[in-house]
Amino acid sequence: MMHESLTLSAADWCFVKPDGDAARYYHRLAESGYAAAEMVPPQRRAMARAAGLRLLNFAGASNLNRTENRSNAVTQMREEIAHMAAEHIEQLIVFSGNRAGQDPALGIANCIAALKEVAADAERAGVVLTFEVFNTFDHPDYDADNSDYGFIVAREVSSPAVKVLYDLYHMHRMGEDVAAKVTANLKYVAHLHVAGSPKRDFPGEKQSLDYAQVVQRIHGAGYRGAWGMEFLPGPGSDAGEALGSAARMFCGYCG
């Protein structure tokens, strides 16, 4: 059984095979104690809802860090916010874009400016804009390659509708003490992504990222957002079984 205060979600792109039985996958996800599915494409949303899952988020605008892209990014985000509200999707994931030689301080300033333009729209729509941070091993030259970048953006925009999507795998790869970073900036964290490190595989015990300690520290600090499974099950693995094992393991960390 899912711990009453631990919320789990799973990212579609990792676990739903193009030729697989998506409806069965969603039902197994719900039966394993998951509350939500992430990044569900339009053609599968009815199936996820029929299984009793919330639709947590969807990926949206990028290149917020470029002055020359401001107008396009703002227009795109406003359209996406309206779409999320109409579809009852809780969060819109947004991205800095690549650095391309630009000073990160300018990238941060541009992200702040773009998000300030749409924060009120998101608040009215009841949608949270989650600014995602990545590692540069998987995403070379990505500008927001550390959580301080994201937390500065969220703090300066100063809206309940603008927070950070803190990917534990990505930031561990970048050398951060992920539990310390999250607990120190808890009010700016909307969502967490989970994968084993350094291979983005099942977040089991034989990892350089100790999830037992991470879950206990972050949950103990009061985080009640979703723990979003975004790992690669591996060739021949059964996604439903892997997600069920992850759910039992993570809920067990909470006692």
Give the confidence band of 240 by pLDDT, cuts at 50, 70, 90.
Answer: very high
- Residue 91 and residue 129 in contact, taking contact as beta carbons nearer than 8 Å: yes
- The per-residue pLDDT for range 166-207, each reduced to its tens digit, is 999 999 999 999 999 999 999 999 999 999 999 999 999 888
The DSSP-derived string for 88-125 is: T--EEEEE--B-TT--HHHHHHHHHHHHHHHHHHHHHH
Mean pLDDT of the chain: 96
Structure tokens at 33: 């104690």
- Residue 121 and residue 80 in contact, taking contact as beta carbons nearer than 8 Å: no
What pTM value is reported for the model? 0.96
Specify the CATH number of the domain 7-253. 3.20.20.150
* pLDDT at residue 55 tops 50: yes
Q: Residue written as tokens 């991205």?
A: 95
The domain limits of the chain are 7-253
At residue 23, the 3 state secondary structure works out as: helix
Residues 63, 81: Cα–Cα separation, whole Å: 17
- The per-residue pLDDT for range 93-133, each reduced to its tens digit, is 999 999 999 999 999 999 999 999 999 999 999 999 999 99
Query: Higher model confidence: residue 105 or residue 20?
Result: 105
* pLDDT at residue 31 tops 50: yes
Residues 6 or more apart in contact with residue 165 via CB below 8 angstroms: 57, 91, 93, 130, 131, 132, 133, 190, 191, 192, 193
- The per-residue pLDDT for range 159-171, each reduced to its tens digit, is 999 999 999 999 9
Residue 6 backbone dihedrals phi, psi, to 5 degrees: -110, 115
Q: Residue written as tokens 């993570």?
A: 250
Residue of 195, 99, 113 lying closest to 162 (CA atoms): 113
| DSSP-H helix ranges across the chain | 12-15, 22-31, 45-50, 70-87, 104-125, 147-157, 168-173, 178-184, 211-220, 239-253
